[in-house]
Amino acid sequence: MSGYMHKEAADPAPAPQPKVNPYTIHKALAKRESGGEKDPFFRHHAPKKVSSTAYATTGITATQARDFQSRRPEVFGTKGDMPEYLDRYVEQGEKFKHHGRNKGKVPDYDPKYDYGGKGDMGNTPDDREKYRQMSMYMIRDMYNRSGKDINKFLQAWRGLPESEAPGYYRDVRKNLGFAE
């Protein structure tokens, strides 16, 4: 036997964790929700058996906006025009529900409120900025309330456990820089 001693293979260093904060989460959600679209202000498509009012860059639904408006109004504050914007956002969501997949079924059908339609909230720079603010306020609040745990945040944001939306969780975590 030679005098050569085998060294134990050292454990590889753990992979560095990506920087996660409300801004990086916003970017990761936007890439997942509307990243392939030239103009991300549209009503998101949903499977045929599902109804959704998800809209724009991060896919906020009318229900999410309404819940925040009623349960967590302090997140947005009462000054400025955010309360009015939230009212208009929820109203647009009601139009989405009325017109979605209802061509030929409702007499006042308007395609701008159907899946893939533009709605009426992303046509001005002010509305787009208000959406970004609303999104950031909601993300920041939910991320903090989830203990800054990305998986808990994603379940709260998506409204589904990972077992029911594994691709969504995988895509957002990948967009944040987590290795799968």
Per-residue model confidence as pLDDT tens digits over 50-94: 889 999 999 999 999 999 999 999 998 776 889 999 999 999 999
Q: Alpha-carbon distance 163 to 177, whole Å?
A: 21
Domain membership of residue 130 (yes or no) is yes
When divided into structural domains, the chain yields a total of: 1
Q: What is the pLDDT of residue 9?
A: 57
Domain membership of residue 15 (yes or no) is no
Domain membership of residue 7 (yes or no) is no
DSSP letter at 43 equals B
Q: Alpha-carbon distance 173 to 29, whole Å?
A: 9
Q: Please answer whether residues 57 and 30 qualify as being in contact, where contact means their C-beta atoms are separated by less than 8 angstroms.
A: yes
Domain membership of residue 121 (yes or no) is yes
Cα end-to-end span (Å), the chain: 43
**Average pLDDT of the segment spanning 143-169:** 95
Domain membership of residue 149 (yes or no) is yes
The set of long-range contacts for 79-82, using a CB threshold of 8 Å and a minimum separation of 24, is 81/130, 82/130, 82/133, 82/134, 82/137
Domain that holds residue 108: 22-173
Amino acid making up residue 41 = F
Domain membership of residue 179 (yes or no) is no
Domain membership of residue 8 (yes or no) is no
Domain membership of residue 64 (yes or no) is yes
Tens of pLDDT, residue by residue over 2-38, are 555 555 556 665 556 688 999 999 999 999 999 878 8
H/E element, 151: helix 150-158
Structure tokens at 138: 């909601």
Q: Alpha-carbon distance 177 to 180, whole Å?
A: 9
